[in-house]
Homo-oligomer: A and B are copies of this chain.
Amino acid sequence: MSLKVFNNLTKRKEVFTPLNPPFVGMYVCGPTVSGESHLGHARPFITFDVIYRYLLFLGYKVRYVRNITDAGHFEEEGRAAEDKISSKAQLEKLEPMELVQKYTNLFHDAMAAFNNLPPSIEPTATGHIVEQIELTKKIIEAGYAYEINGSVYFNVKKYHEDFSKRNQPYGILSGRKIEDQIAESRSLQNQDEKREALDFALWKKAPENHIMRWASPWGEGFPGWHIECSAMSTKYLGKKFDIHGGGMDLQFPHHECEIAQSTVCNDVTPASYWLHNNMITINGKKMGKSYNNVIKLSELFHGNHPLLNKSYSPQTVRFFILQSQYRSTLDFSNDSLLAAEKALKRLTETYIWLQNFESFNYTTLIIPEGLPNYNEQILKAVNNFKSCLDEDFNTAKLLAEVFEILPILNAVKDKNLKIEYLQPEVLILLKKSFKDYLKDILGLDFKYPTDNHYLKNALDLLINLRMSAKKNKDFVTTDTIRQELSKIGIIIKDEKDGGISYSFNTI
């Protein structure tokens, strides 16, 4: 079995073949830090975190580069050009980099809360001005960009004409036809200085009141948005690397422009595999300012947004996102998040029970006729874990396999099924597979309140006191302990074997 990925460049599922195994280079477009991270930031970075983790699990030596867009960029596609970062900065009367720092810190906090691993390198656009200027110079020299009034634009039409002959048309990734777009953009009554509305900025002259500016061969200005990713991916991963990732919305124009820039400079399409996660919706609607439904991550974690009934933990959100394959659309709603929270709670309890289970030295009993073959069921599921992820990182299918066998494990855990019906080897394999796939690859952080050493011991003591009280028929004490713990969400359960167990009502 080998890993297959859906390559958006070829629109096919392909066997993943790195250029220089065991090394893998992966570039993922990071956040624009002109505001607080919102729900739209959760999916791509969790998706590519799992991809990163799975590639590491497979033994690849991965260099994972995820940039920070802090230089401000233009909204393309006909909307008025607007430097997002510096306009917001003026509003808050802050130095742009102070704003950048604040939102970068918040972004990092959110990524840590999601349990995303830090990328190998997290380069910033402002940190690579020299590289972007050099690339722009190269594109001008090659004849695919022109300077006008201190700005530099990429000549899309010329690129398309020349590179179509080599089967590398502009539109190679998105499938858009350039002819349609020229017609479309003409109707917008373009008043730009650009020769064609489709041309995009590599370097932009800074207006007088523009705070973010750097010296360049074309005067003071700042880089366009697309050029930063070409500059940074080339610098850290080389002219051609393995995986380029990002959200579906970045396919056009951002990734299309990146391909054009890099192809001119390096004579090769920059990445072998182009992976895009699909978009999220909220209660069935596209998320956006115009829909008034942008949920910031802090609002999600604290539950203070009109669309939310309650708060949802970062791990619930992570689990919820992984319940869908990354190329499916995904709808956020209170009901679906609540269901995910409940399912994660069940999984957490089983996971912790299994990881703490240690006495595998029992003799297996034969499963009575009429009962299903639990061992076979478990083995079948476990053997499917890898193939789920090998099929374009299908985390949804992997979790379905896990939940398929959860009832068996819970029956054993809750002593409704004899553990002797399971073969120790099967349980040992399952324990390791759960750790590998759920904790290490899916990155689910099964933290339990009893990770607190004091609490664990205090609860053990309370359980022991209750057992003694029960033995002495001191029902006042047994009731007090049960009731008081119940008040704070710790549920005491009297087991059939006379023991007492506890569980947490909310995690």
Contact = CB atoms under 8 A, between A and B. Distances in A.
Contact of A118 (B101, B215, B453): B101
B453 A488 contact: yes
Contact of A63 (B95, B461, B487): B95
Interface of A (DSSP majority class): helix
A490 B105 contact: no
Contact of A95 (B134, B236, B454, B455): B236
Nearest to A122: B101
A105 B117 CA distance: 11
B490 A130 contact: no
Nearest to A488: B457
The winner among A452, A454, A489 for most chain B CB atoms within 10 A is A454
Contact of A449 (B122, B452, B484): B452
Contact of A123 (B97, B119, B453): B97
A465 interface: yes
A236 B97 contact: yes
A339 interface: no
A490 B459 CA distance: 14
Contacts of A118: 101, 105
Given A134-B215, A465-B477, A449 B458 contact: no
A214 interface: yes
Contacts of A123: 97
Contacts of A400: none
Q: Report the interface size class on chain A.
A: 35 or more
Interface in A473-498: 477, 480-481, 484-485, 487-490
A484 B461 contact: yes
Interface in A94-134: 95, 97-98, 100-101, 105, 108, 118-124, 126-127, 129-131, 133-134
A264 B468 CA distance: 82
A58 interface: no
A189 B120 CA distance: 43
A337 to B, nearest CB: 23
Nearest to A452: B452
A458 B462 contact: yes
Contacts of A453: 488
Nearest to A101: B121
B454 A449 contact: yes
Given A101-B120, A121-B98, A452-B449, A127 B127 contact: yes
Contacts of A477: 465, 468
Contacts of A480: 461, 464-465
Given A121-B95, A481-B461, A454 B215 contact: no
A138 B336 CA distance: 61
Interface in A187-228: 214-215
Given A452-B455, A465-B465, A465-B477, A214 B121 contact: no
Contacts of A449: 452, 454
B454 A488 contact: yes
Given A127-B127, A462-B462, A481-B461, A120 B98 contact: yes
A454 B457 contact: no
Nearest to A232: B97
Contact of A485 (B121, B127, B461, B487): B461
Interface string A400-417: 000000000000000000
Contact of A455 (B100, B454, B464): B454
Contacts of A97: 121, 123, 236
B462 A461 contact: yes
Contacts of A455: 452, 454-455, 458
Contacts of A504: 454
Contacts of A95: 63, 120-121, 236
A452 B63 CA distance: 38
B127 A124 contact: yes
A454 B120 contact: no
Contacts of A452: 449, 452, 454-455
Nearest to A481: B461
A282 B236 CA distance: 40
Given A124-B127, A465-B477, A481-B465, A98 B63 contact: yes
A65 B339 CA distance: 45
Interface string A307-330: 000000000000000000000000
6 contacts: A97-B123, A101-B120, A105-B118, A127-B127, A454-B504, A457-B484
Given A452-B455, A458-B490, A465-B465, 18 more contacts: A95-B120, A95-B121, A97-B236, A100-B121, A101-B122, A105-B118, A129-B129, A133-B215, A452-B454, A454-B455, A454-B504, A457-B484, A458-B458, A461-B484, A461-B485, A464-B480, A464-B484, A465-B480
